Protein backbone atom coordinates (compact mmCIF):
# COMPACT_ATOMS: atom_id res chain seq x y z
CA UNK A 1 0.00 0.00 0.00
CA UNK A 2 1.12 3.55 -0.62
CA UNK A 3 0.78 6.15 2.13
CA UNK A 4 -2.71 7.28 1.16
CA UNK A 5 -3.96 3.70 1.00
CA UNK A 6 -2.54 3.06 4.47
CA UNK A 7 -4.27 6.17 5.85
CA UNK A 8 -7.53 5.08 4.25
CA UNK A 9 -7.20 1.50 5.52
CA UNK A 10 -6.44 2.41 9.15
CA UNK A 11 -9.48 1.98 11.34
CA UNK A 12 -10.00 1.94 15.10
CA UNK A 13 -10.58 -1.74 15.86
CA UNK A 14 -12.21 -2.53 19.20
CA UNK A 15 -12.06 -6.32 19.11
CA UNK A 16 -9.38 -8.72 17.86
CA UNK A 17 -9.07 -12.32 16.76
CA UNK A 18 -7.13 -14.76 19.00
CA UNK A 19 -4.05 -14.55 16.81
CA UNK A 20 -0.50 -13.59 17.70
CA UNK A 21 1.25 -10.66 16.03
CA UNK A 22 4.76 -11.51 14.81
CA UNK A 23 7.45 -9.79 16.88
CA UNK A 24 9.03 -8.24 13.80
CA UNK A 25 5.76 -6.43 13.01
CA UNK A 26 5.84 -4.64 16.36
CA UNK A 27 9.56 -3.89 16.16
CA UNK A 28 9.23 -2.44 12.67
CA UNK A 29 6.36 -0.23 13.82
CA UNK A 30 8.36 0.89 16.87
CA UNK A 31 11.22 1.92 14.59
CA UNK A 32 8.73 3.97 12.58
CA UNK A 33 7.40 5.58 15.76
CA UNK A 34 10.88 6.80 16.69
CA UNK A 35 11.18 8.56 13.33
CA UNK A 36 8.25 10.86 14.11
CA UNK A 37 8.86 14.61 14.03
CA UNK A 38 9.16 16.03 17.52
CA UNK A 39 9.66 19.27 19.42
CA UNK A 40 13.29 20.49 19.11
CA UNK A 41 14.24 16.89 18.26
CA UNK A 42 14.41 16.24 22.02
CA UNK A 43 12.60 12.92 21.58
CA UNK A 44 10.80 13.04 24.96
CA UNK A 45 9.00 9.75 24.49
CA UNK A 46 9.17 6.40 26.20
CA UNK A 47 7.31 3.44 24.72
CA UNK A 48 6.48 0.45 26.89
CA UNK A 49 5.72 -2.79 25.06
CA UNK A 50 4.00 -4.70 27.85
CA UNK A 51 4.83 -8.39 27.42
CA UNK A 52 4.70 -9.58 31.02
CA UNK A 53 1.42 -11.44 31.54
CA UNK A 54 0.72 -10.02 35.00
CA UNK A 55 1.44 -6.46 33.92
CA UNK A 56 -0.69 -6.89 30.83
CA UNK A 57 -3.59 -8.17 32.94
CA UNK A 58 -3.20 -5.18 35.24
CA UNK A 59 -3.24 -2.84 32.25
CA UNK A 60 -6.45 -4.40 30.97
CA UNK A 61 -8.02 -3.74 34.37
CA UNK A 62 -6.71 -0.15 34.32
CA UNK A 63 -8.33 0.24 30.89
CA UNK A 64 -11.70 -0.73 32.40
CA UNK A 65 -11.61 -4.18 30.78
CA UNK A 66 -12.63 -2.72 27.45
CA UNK A 67 -12.71 -5.31 24.69
CA UNK A 68 -9.86 -3.77 22.68
CA UNK A 69 -7.45 -4.15 25.58
CA UNK A 70 -8.79 -7.56 26.64
CA UNK A 71 -8.61 -9.15 23.18
CA UNK A 72 -5.49 -7.43 21.80
CA UNK A 73 -2.46 -9.58 21.09
CA UNK A 74 -0.20 -6.72 22.21
CA UNK A 75 -0.53 -3.64 24.39
CA UNK A 76 1.83 -0.68 24.22
CA UNK A 77 1.91 2.46 26.34
CA UNK A 78 3.28 5.72 24.97
CA UNK A 79 4.62 8.09 27.61
CA UNK A 80 5.88 11.70 27.56
CA UNK A 81 8.75 12.59 29.88
CA UNK A 82 9.26 16.16 31.10
CA UNK A 83 12.66 15.45 32.62
CA UNK A 84 14.69 13.80 29.85
CA UNK A 85 15.27 16.94 27.78
CA UNK A 86 18.55 17.74 29.58
CA UNK A 87 19.97 14.27 28.94
CA UNK A 88 18.78 14.21 25.34
CA UNK A 89 20.03 17.74 24.67
CA UNK A 90 23.49 16.72 25.93
CA UNK A 91 23.46 13.63 23.71
CA UNK A 92 22.44 15.71 20.69
CA UNK A 93 25.26 18.20 21.34
CA UNK A 94 27.73 15.32 21.67
CA UNK A 95 26.58 13.88 18.35
CA UNK A 96 26.74 17.27 16.63
CA UNK A 97 30.24 17.81 17.96
CA UNK A 98 31.25 14.36 16.70
CA UNK A 99 29.96 15.22 13.23
CA UNK A 100 31.87 18.51 13.28
CA UNK A 101 31.16 21.89 11.69
CA UNK A 102 28.11 22.64 13.87
CA UNK A 103 26.20 25.65 12.48
CA UNK A 104 26.30 28.39 15.09
CA UNK A 105 22.54 28.82 14.84
CA UNK A 106 22.01 25.18 15.74
CA UNK A 107 24.52 25.37 18.59
CA UNK A 108 22.83 28.49 19.98
CA UNK A 109 19.46 26.80 19.75
CA UNK A 110 20.47 23.89 21.98
CA UNK A 111 22.64 25.86 24.39
CA UNK A 112 20.36 28.89 24.83
CA UNK A 113 16.84 28.45 23.47
CA UNK A 114 16.08 24.93 24.71
CA UNK A 115 17.09 25.60 28.36
CA UNK A 116 15.18 28.88 28.25
CA UNK A 117 11.89 27.22 27.39
CA UNK A 118 12.14 23.80 28.98
CA UNK A 119 13.41 24.82 32.43
CA UNK A 120 10.69 26.37 34.56
CA UNK A 121 12.10 26.37 38.10
CA UNK A 122 10.69 25.43 41.46
CA UNK A 123 6.85 25.42 41.40
CA UNK A 124 7.11 27.13 38.00
CA UNK A 125 8.44 30.42 39.45
CA UNK A 126 10.99 30.85 36.67
CA UNK A 127 8.32 30.00 34.14
CA UNK A 128 5.93 32.66 35.40
CA UNK A 129 8.74 35.24 35.37
CA UNK A 130 9.49 34.37 31.77
CA UNK A 131 5.81 34.66 30.91
CA UNK A 132 5.70 38.21 32.30
CA UNK A 133 8.87 39.26 30.47
CA UNK A 134 7.82 37.76 27.14
CA UNK A 135 4.32 39.20 27.46
CA UNK A 136 5.77 42.69 27.91
CA UNK A 137 8.15 42.29 24.98
CA UNK A 138 5.27 40.86 22.98
CA UNK A 139 3.53 44.21 23.11
CA UNK A 140 6.09 45.47 20.60
CA UNK A 141 7.09 42.45 18.50
CA UNK A 142 6.30 38.76 17.95
CA UNK A 143 7.70 36.54 20.70
CA UNK A 144 7.42 32.87 21.75
CA UNK A 145 4.48 32.45 24.13
CA UNK A 146 5.70 29.32 25.88
CA UNK A 147 6.04 26.68 27.06
CA UNK A 148 6.74 28.32 30.42
CA UNK A 149 5.10 26.05 33.00
CA UNK A 150 5.15 22.33 33.71
CA UNK A 151 1.61 22.05 32.37
CA UNK A 152 2.53 23.80 29.14
CA UNK A 153 5.63 21.64 28.68
CA UNK A 154 3.47 18.52 29.14
CA UNK A 155 1.13 19.84 26.45
CA UNK A 156 3.98 20.30 23.98
CA UNK A 157 5.44 16.89 24.73
CA UNK A 158 2.06 15.17 24.50
CA UNK A 159 1.65 16.53 20.96
CA UNK A 160 5.08 15.18 20.10
CA UNK A 161 4.33 11.71 21.50
CA UNK A 162 0.98 11.67 19.67
CA UNK A 163 2.92 12.00 16.41
CA UNK A 164 4.93 8.91 17.36
CA UNK A 165 1.65 7.11 18.09
CA UNK A 166 0.34 7.94 14.63
CA UNK A 167 3.53 6.71 12.97
CA UNK A 168 3.26 3.49 14.95
CA UNK A 169 -0.37 2.85 14.04
CA UNK A 170 0.16 3.57 10.35
CA UNK A 171 3.13 1.19 10.34
CA UNK A 172 0.95 -1.49 11.96
CA UNK A 173 -1.71 -0.99 9.26
CA UNK A 174 0.88 -1.12 6.49
CA UNK A 175 1.86 -4.60 7.69
CA UNK A 176 -1.70 -5.94 7.61
CA UNK A 177 -2.61 -5.66 11.30
CA UNK A 178 -4.89 -3.34 13.23
CA UNK A 179 -4.73 -1.06 16.24
CA UNK A 180 -6.73 1.18 18.54
CA UNK A 181 -5.51 4.32 20.32
CA UNK A 182 -6.97 4.29 23.82
CA UNK A 183 -7.33 7.22 26.21
CA UNK A 184 -9.88 5.42 28.35
CA UNK A 185 -7.76 4.25 31.27
CA UNK A 186 -6.89 5.05 34.87
CA UNK A 187 -3.58 6.85 34.45
CA UNK A 188 -2.57 6.40 38.09
CA UNK A 189 -2.94 2.63 37.81
CA UNK A 190 -1.12 2.52 34.47
CA UNK A 191 1.78 4.47 35.95
CA UNK A 192 1.85 2.12 38.92
CA UNK A 193 2.05 -0.93 36.64
CA UNK A 194 4.96 0.64 34.75
CA UNK A 195 6.58 2.17 37.83
CA UNK A 196 6.41 5.71 36.42
CA UNK A 197 6.88 8.88 38.45
CA UNK A 198 5.38 12.36 38.36
CA UNK A 199 7.74 13.38 35.54
CA UNK A 200 5.89 10.94 33.24
CA UNK A 201 2.60 11.56 31.49
CA UNK A 202 0.74 8.66 29.85
CA UNK A 203 -0.34 9.93 26.45
CA UNK A 204 -1.92 6.85 24.95
CA UNK A 205 -2.31 3.10 25.24
CA UNK A 206 -2.40 1.28 21.91
CA UNK A 207 -3.92 -2.16 21.31
CA UNK A 208 -2.59 -4.22 18.41
CA UNK A 209 -3.90 -7.40 16.83
CA UNK A 210 -5.58 -9.09 13.91
CA UNK A 211 -8.88 -7.36 13.20
CA UNK A 212 -12.08 -9.11 14.26
CA UNK A 213 -14.85 -7.98 11.86
CA UNK A 214 -17.02 -7.40 14.94
CA UNK A 215 -14.47 -4.84 16.11
CA UNK A 216 -15.38 -2.34 13.39
CA UNK A 217 -18.47 -0.43 14.46
CA UNK A 218 -19.84 0.37 11.00
CA UNK A 219 -18.53 2.46 8.09
CA UNK A 220 -16.15 5.32 8.83
CA UNK A 221 -18.05 8.48 9.76
CA UNK A 222 -16.56 11.87 9.01
CA UNK A 223 -18.47 15.14 9.03
CA UNK A 224 -18.55 17.52 6.07
CA UNK A 225 -15.09 19.06 5.50
CA UNK A 226 -16.71 22.50 5.31
CA UNK A 227 -16.76 22.48 9.13
CA UNK A 228 -13.02 22.01 9.38
CA UNK A 229 -11.16 23.18 6.27
CA UNK A 230 -10.66 26.89 5.59
CA UNK A 231 -8.70 28.86 3.02
CA UNK A 232 -7.94 32.39 4.24
Convert the pLDDT of each residue in 163-176 to its tens digit. 999 999 999 999 99
Spatial separation of the C-alpha atoms in residues 207 and 70, rounded to whole Å? 9
pLDDT at 1 over 90: no
Is residue 126 a part of any domain in this protein? no
Q: Which of these, 179, 199, 177, 200, lies nearest to 190 by C-alpha position? A: 200
Residue 60 lies in a domain: yes
Whether 55 is in a domain gets the answer yes
Structural domain harbouring 61: 18-84+151-209
pLDDT digits 0-9 by tens, 55-106:
999 999 999 999 999 999 999 999 999 999 999 999 999 999 999 888 999 9
In this prediction the pTM is 0.93
Q: Give the count of alpha carbons within 13 A of 82, CB side only.
A: 24
Is residue 196 one of the residues assigned to a domain?
A: yes
Q: Of 176, 175, 180, 177, which Cα lies nearest the Cα of 204?
A: 180
CATH number at residue 182: 3.40.109.10
Total number of domains constituting the chain: 1
Amino acid sequence: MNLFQVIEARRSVRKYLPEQVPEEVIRKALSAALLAPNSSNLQPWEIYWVRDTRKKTALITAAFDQSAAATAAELLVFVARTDTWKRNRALILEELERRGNIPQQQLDYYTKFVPLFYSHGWIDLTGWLKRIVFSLVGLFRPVPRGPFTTKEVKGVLSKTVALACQNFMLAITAQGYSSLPMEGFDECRVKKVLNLGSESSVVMMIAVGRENPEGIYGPRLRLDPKFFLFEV
